[in-house]
Amino acid sequence: MQASKQNGESTFHTQEPVHEIHRKAAEQHELAARAHRTAAERNEKCDNPTGNWHLERALEYAEHAYKLARDAHTKSGQIGSL
């Protein structure tokens, strides 16, 4: 069983259905997009420190989304080979 810890909460990807992992990945992509838009708005207003903070959050969300999507892809391949 493979466990991962993200933002203080543990998840067991091997026990989650693939569609649930995809849903979580989509949520993280949405959070990344929102943070990226906010960063752009702040930078346009010359509020660079706040914009940079939101940009860092966008990167964190995007990285987490990528890992979830990769896990879902791997798991879906395992299901097909059973």
> Cα Rg for the chain, rounded, in angstroms?
16
What pLDDT is stored for residue 14 in this prediction? 53
Amino acid at 64: H
Please report whether residue 16 resides in a domain.
Answer: no
Please report whether residue 39 resides in a domain.
Answer: yes
Please report whether residue 26 resides in a domain.
Answer: yes
Q: Which domain holds residue 40?
A: 21-80
Report how far residue 72's alpha carbon sits from residue 24's, in angstroms, rounded to the nearest whole number.
10
What pLDDT is stored for residue 10 in this prediction? 47
Q: What is the pLDDT along the chain (82 residues), one digit of tens a residue?
A: 344 555 544 454 457 788 899 999 999 999 999 999 999 999 999 999 999 999 999 999 999 999 999 998 888 876 554 4
What pLDDT is stored for residue 1 in this prediction? 38
Total domains in the chain come to 1
Please report whether residue 5 resides in a domain.
Answer: no
